[in-house]
Amino acid sequence: MLTANIEKKLPDFTLTMQFTMQNEVLVLFGPSGCGKTTTLRCIAGLAQPDQGKVSLNGDVFFDSQVKENVPPRLRKMGYMFQDFALFPHMSVKKNIGYGIKQPGKKADELYTRLLDLLKISHLTDRYPHSLSGGERQRVALARALMAEPSVLLLDEPMSSLDSETRRELQDELKRLHTLWQIPFILVTHDLHEARKLGDRIVFMEQGRQVEGR
Ligand SMILES: Nc1ncnc2c1ncn2[C@@H]1O[C@H](COP(=O)(O)OP(=O)(O)OP(=O)(O)O)[C@@H](O)[C@H]1O
């Protein structure tokens, strides 16, 4: 169970988000600038709330009252952000491999499956600067999935993909979720995608939840 209680002052409003989720797919949906990315960043530890608490299955990652703030790499979260760059000096293969927790047959199988699924097998020796936006996005997604994280945070992971790849990837994400049974938080601007993938949709405006089911 992931619990997030986040209060963070931003230039135009104070982000105030509070939710608890089981091993489900929660979608954050709302207009540009309403605080979706900042919410994910606070959960991942890439931004610090002014007040609040973030915990996963009883492990406290952030607690303003006791000044606890676990660094991102120890939070066991996989994330893929719009601006989260791939390592420029590493090949695609190395970038994806960076996420591996435990090398071995299982990791090799997952690697092959992800390359195949994301149609990036032919890119493994290339470097990020030579990839298109959509290719970079697919490599970044493979890296996030490769780590077999305890929580997966996805910030518009499919925004630069063509509609067919997007549909396939949506289906695969759903399958992976069923298989792994961990919390997924997905930010999307696509209501169809939100409805297809989300067990729950949180509608946000100006840093607050305005509607949800
Ligand atoms: N590091 C920062 N410093 C100051 N203000 C920020 C920072 N990051 C975000 N903001 C502001 O906080 C608000 C929320 O931004 P955020 O990126 O979380 O929105 P979003 O809902 O993810 O938007 P989008 O859909 O466009 O990606 C915006 O007004 C943004 O300008």
pLDDT tens-digit profile of 181-193? 899 999 998 999 9
47 lines ligand 1 (CB under 6 A): no
Specify which residues 60 forms β-bridges with.
55
Ligand 1 atom with the smallest distance to the CA of 28 is: 21
Percent composition of the chain: helix, strand, coil (DSSP 3-state, to 5): 35, 25, 35
Ligand 1 atom with the smallest distance to the CA of 207 is: 14
35 lines ligand 1 (CB under 6 A): yes
State mean pLDDT over 35-57: 96
ipTM of the complex: 0.95
User: What does the pLDDT read at residue 196?
Assistant: 94
User: What does the pLDDT read at residue 67?
Assistant: 95
Q: What is the Å distance from ligand 1's center to 42 Cα?
A: 12
Report the nearest-CA residue for atom 11 of ligand 1.
10
33 lines ligand 1 (CB under 6 A): yes
Q: What is the Å distance from ligand 1's center to 12 Cα?
A: 10
DSSP one-letter string for 127-158:
-GGGS-HHHHHHHHHHHHHHT--SEEEEESTT
36 lines ligand 1 (CB under 6 A): yes
The pLDDT confidence band at residue 84, using thresholds 50, 70 and 90, is: low
32 lines ligand 1 (CB under 6 A): yes
**Residue 53 pLDDT > 70, yes or no?**
yes
Q: What is the Å distance from ligand 1's center to 37 Cα?
A: 7
Handedness of CA 120, 117, 156, 161 (dihedral sign): positive
Nearest to 156 by CA among 207, 99, 197, 96: 197
**pLDDT one-digit tens code per residue, 106-146:** 899 989 988 988 889 999 999 999 998 778 888 988 898 88
Q: What is the Å distance from ligand 1's center to 112 Cα?
A: 35
45 lines ligand 1 (CB under 6 A): no
Q: What is the Å distance from ligand 1's center to 179 Cα?
A: 33
User: What does the pLDDT read at residue 198?
Assistant: 96
Q: What is the Å distance from ligand 1's center to 70 Cα?
A: 22
Helix (H, G, I), strand (E, B) or coil at 173: helix
